[in-house]
Structure 1
Amino acid sequence: MTLKEQVNKDFIQARKDKDTLKADVLRLIKTEYDSFLIDNKRDMTDAEQINVFLKDIKKTNEAIVYAKQVGREDLIEENNNKLAILESYTPKMMDEDEIRSFLEENNVPSMALKDAMKFAMGALNGKADKAVVSQIIKELLK
């Protein structure tokens, strides 16, 4: 079952269970999938589907930080619940040690920055946080 099919199935089940938060989160994901299909006249690849979730995870983390700054406990709780839903659809992300060893095994330290970034972002797309990958590449190339 593809990720898109799983989202559709879980959306229907969330509606039946009257789980409004999960239904709302999945509705937004479905909307992004549909918009992509209309704009590009093709379905998303698996990596593109995962990137939709990663983008929403990043937005939700930013919302949590902002809610903490203004002291809104209700928003913090809601966004933490939303974050749990989104993260349940993404694969386990690589940690810094795994990223570093992958990059070293593939001779990234001997590449130019532009080539290293292009290789790493392509190879680790959807498997690791892009900001962490970028930071590690810059450290390895020093």
Structure 2
Amino acid sequence: MTLKSRLTEDMKTAMRSGDKPRLGVIRLINAAIKQREVDERVELDEAQVLGVLEKMLKQRRDSVSQYESAGREDLAETERFEIGVIEAYLPAQLDEAELTAMIDAAIAETGAESMRDMGKVMALLKERAAGRADMGNVSKQLKQRLG
């Protein structure tokens, strides 16, 4: 079952069960996917849908930190709920050992030696770790290795 069809089925289930908060988040996800499809005039594949979900997740995490610093715990809690729903559609996250091994393999594969090679390595890692790792964290670890 594709991610888009799973979202549609989960939306129907949330409607039937009356789970309005979850339904709202799933509708936001579907709207973001549809918006990108309309803007680019393409049908998004699985990797592109994961990209949309990652972007939404990053936006929510940024919002949580901003709300917490502003003392708006009620809004931060709403964002955390949305993060939980979005994460349910992403593949299992890589643990530190797997991520380190993936970074080492990408460095070896591209022959990267310095920060100038970071773009090549990040392109490879984005493809391999799509939806399974926070790319900001990956970037930090890669900078430490190459720097």
TM-score tier by shorter-chain length is: 0.7 to 0.9
Number of corresponding residues: 142
Distance 1:113 1:76 in 2: 34
Could you tell me which amino acid in structure 2 is paired with residue 81 of structure 1? F
Distance 2:93 2:25 in 1: 21
Partner of 2:122: 117
Partner of 1:82: 82
Unpaired stretches in structure 1, ≥5 consecutive residues: none
Please, which of 123, 128, 132 is the counterpart of residue 127 of structure 1?
Answer: 132
Distance 1:126 1:87 in 2: 9
Distance 1:57 1:66 in 2: 14
Distance 1:141 1:70 in 2: 36
Q: Does 1:27 align with 2:32?
A: no
How many Å apart are 1:109 and its aligned residue?
Answer: 7.8
Which string of whole-angstrom CA distances, capped at 9 and with x for unpartnered residues, describes residues 87-128 of structure 1? Answer: 111112223332221122340583122322222222222222
Q: Any conservation in 1 of the 2:50–2:131 contact (CA below 8 Å)?
A: yes
Q: Any conservation in 2 of the 1:117–1:134 contact (CA below 8 Å)?
A: yes
Which string of whole-angstrom CA distances, capped at 9 and with x for unpartnered residues, describes residues 31-85 of structure 1? Answer: 1222222233322111111121111111111221122112223222222211111
Change (3 A) 1:108 1:100: farther
Unpaired stretches in structure 2, ≥5 consecutive residues: none
Q: Any conservation in 1 of the 2:67–2:73 contact (CA below 8 Å)?
A: yes
Partner of 1:15: 15
Distance 1:93 1:3 in 2: 17
TM-score (norm 1): 0.87
Which structure 1 residue ranges, 4+ long, deviate > 3 Å from structure 2?
Answer: none
Distance 2:119 2:86 in 1: 31
Distance 1:50 1:57 in 2: 10
Give the RMSD, CA atoms, in angstroms: 1.9
Q: Which moved more, 1:68-77 or 1:19-28?
A: 68-77
TM-score (norm 2): 0.84
Q: Any conservation in 1 of the 2:50–2:130 contact (CA below 8 Å)?
A: no
